[in-house]
Amino acid sequence: MSSQNAPESLHHGSLVLYKQDPARVTSVEPKRVTITLPDGEILRVRPKDVDVIHPGPLESLDDLHPQDGEMETAWELLSGGETTLRELTELAYGEYTPPAAWAAWQWVSDGIYFEGTPRSVAVRTPDEAAQEKARREARAAEQRAWATFLERARAGDFAPEDERYLVEVERLALGQTDQSRVLSELGRAETPENGHALLLELGYWDHTVVPYPERLGLPTSPPSVPLRALPEGPRVDLTHLPAFAIDDEGSTDPDDAVSLETTAEGRRLWVHVADVAALVVPDSEADLEARGRGATLYLPDGKVPMLPPTATRRLGMGLASVSPALSFCLDVTDDGEVGDVTIVASRVRVTRLTYDEAEMQLDEPPLRDLYHLARDFQCRRGANGAVSIEMPEVDVSVVDGRVRIRALPALRSRALVREAMLMAGEAVAQYAVKERVSLPYATQAPPDTDDRPGDLAGMFALIRRMSRTEYSSVPGRHAGLGLERYVQATSPLRRYLDLVVHQQLRSHLTGQALLEGQELLERIGAAEAVAGDVRRADRLADEHWTLVYLMQHPDWCGEAVLVDKWDHRGRLLIPELDLQTQMQLRDDWSLNSTVRLRVVDVDLPTLRATFRLA
């Protein structure tokens, strides 16, 4: 190795590099080197911790003055090759002294024209140097843009070019990440709620953005999987029976209808349900998509269907002149008992009614007789221990950007539909047990109290003592409904387990293989895994739009009922909004006390509204 390329040795007075700073060697020992730093600090370090810039002697670090030289000329001569710091220094400055070597090292460490170590220096080509300059300019521009964005964000504003930064905040607000450089830099906790709040403050989001479905990992657009053609096959013609699909105003997915047939033997209830299993067979694309969604997501500003929209258009009760259905025929005794059950694929002609329209026809046949039948069944359930809870219900919807909250009165027409669907569920369970068809049965343990209160506070307490409905392949009692066995079977367009029921029944009727044991349990588990998130997203979206309603009515004032209390605080229910709030109590307030509240503030990201006594 030539002396020109050999590593420089350490001596007293050598100029060395220590952590990117110059240092002067004051003594050299076998395993330690004593150095002095520019600020006068003296350190003892290992020889490998320093790199020799010049062997010396250097009298003082103060001698390291800027040097005049021809470094760019030297770079052009050496371009694309390799050199040493000594060779570069001599070529650029005409001498090899500690100040000149240090000046040359500044060019190397800068990294535009050179890179490497004091022992080996690589010389960049003009293209490489230009690329490095461009990279640095881009980094500097990015730093300036970042600083400008932060300045705007702190002032509550943003520009179109800031969107790339806000996308990160949006991902946090939607629960797609748990970190945000923006929020961290602004000194805010990195939570979805804080991300939501910042986006609202800047005007990047407005009140129409509802983050909860995406935050819970739910799809927000309809499925686009294919559906097969309706298969040919015999269908019983029931078009002679008046059939009624009764639903809320604006409903777009009617999946059940009712008929009453009077025979010599007695009353016969027909419940016609959209024959979804005829189009969606087990393990098809549509079935797997529905299984992953669990249920239709109903939001005040629209719905996200479980099945492709074409399923509703082709199967919805009353959407065509004649609808294909799976019809449940129930012989019902005078005391509301379900006798023989028959299930057939059918064709029905359905009239659609709203609950209000049906209410006006309840005093005339056939709806009058249907209502009497439903009332008899309700009485039987009550005698069998059914838990009746009547809490305020409202419908929250968004029409042309304005929130509408409408109370849902306890109409007889609603009771008619509810009881008919429950009767069908009991009948299908009865049929399945008799025919040995495995189904997902809905069960519920009884509450740990015999109290059946009639006041709001009592019913609020009873709800909290009720256990959740569970699903099992083994039939069991549903205590809340007062039924010994029960299956949800009337909403296959909207609930996946209802669809599974229909698939099993259709397979049984057509002699095809049934799902058994583990296969059925897997479907129950898959549906329940996501159905809870669907219910939660529904609830949170309702709360969101209810708070938007209060924002649109900043002078809102209304009644609230005290339904729970502890220490000196209480929970109040606002019936007309179906909204709960907490506040400090007065000593004279008792459960079920009614007070008037006025809205004070709304915090949309945290779903909190503040009220005061009116």
Q: Do 591 and 515 fall into the same domain? A: no
Within-domain flag for 148: yes
Closest among 10, 500, 570 to 280, alpha carbons compared: 500
Closest among 328, 334, 335 to 265, alpha carbons compared: 334
- Please give the pLDDT value at position 6: 37
pLDDT averaged per 10 residues, the chain (length 614): 49 93 94 94 94 94 92 93 94 95 95 92 95 95 96 96 96 97 97 98 97 96 94 94 95 95 87 97 96 96 96 96 97 85 97 97 95 94 93 95 94 97 97 96 92 91 92 95 97 97 97 92 94 95 98 97 92 96 87 96 97 93
Residues 6+ apart with CB under 8 A from 273: 255, 256, 317, 325, 326, 327, 328, 424, 489, 490, 491, 492, 502
Q: Do 512 and 583 fall into the same domain? A: no
Q: Do 169 and 70 fall into the same domain? A: no
Q: Do 533 and 564 fall into the same domain? A: no
Q: Do 536 and 562 fall into the same domain? A: no
Domain boundary among 493, 518, 542: 542
Within-domain flag for 213: no
Phi, psi of 198 (to 5 degrees): -65, -40
Residues 408 and 394 sit within 8 Å (Cβ to Cβ): yes
Q: Do 89 and 190 fall into the same domain? A: no
- Please give the pLDDT value at position 418: 97
Can you tell me the distance from the alpha carbon of 453 to that of 457, in angstroms, rounded to the nearest whole number? 8
Global confidence as pTM: 0.86
Within-domain flag for 164: yes
Q: Do 199 and 338 fall into the same domain? A: no
Domain boundary among 124, 157, 183: 124
Domain boundary among 73, 89, 124: 124
CATH of the domain at 195: 1.10.10.10
**DSSP state, residue 231:** P
Quote the tokens at residue 21.
């700073």
Say which residue the tokens 């020992």 belong to. Answer: 29
394-399 and 323-332 beta bridge pairing: unpaired
N-term to C-term CA, the chain:
94
**Which DSSP string corresponds to 90-132?**
HHHHSS--HHHHHHHHHHHHH-SSEEEETTEEEEPPHHHHHHH
Within-domain flag for 505: yes
Within-domain flag for 10: no
Residues 6+ apart with CB under 8 A from 353: 244, 245, 246, 247, 361
- Please give the pLDDT value at position 265: 79
**What per-residue string of b and e applies to 260-272 under the rule 16 or more CB within 10 Å gives b?**
bbeeeeebbbbbb
Within-domain flag for 229: no
Quote the tokens at residue 190.
């990195």
Q: Do 53 and 189 fall into the same domain? A: no
- Please give the pLDDT value at position 336: 76
Q: Do 35 and 172 fall into the same domain? A: no
Structurally, how many domains does the chain consist of? 4
Within-domain flag for 558: yes
Q: Do 359 and 429 fall into the same domain? A: yes
Q: Do 248 and 364 fall into the same domain? A: yes
Within-domain flag for 415: yes
How much helix, strand and coil, in percent to the nearest 5, is found in the chain?
35, 25, 40
Using DSSP's 3-state secondary structure scheme, residue 22 falls into: strand
Domain of residue 448: give its range. Answer: 236-542
256-263 and 120-123 beta bridge pairing: unpaired
Using DSSP's 3-state secondary structure scheme, residue 232 falls into: coil
Quote the tokens at residue 544.
């969101």
Q: Do 106 and 246 fall into the same domain? A: no
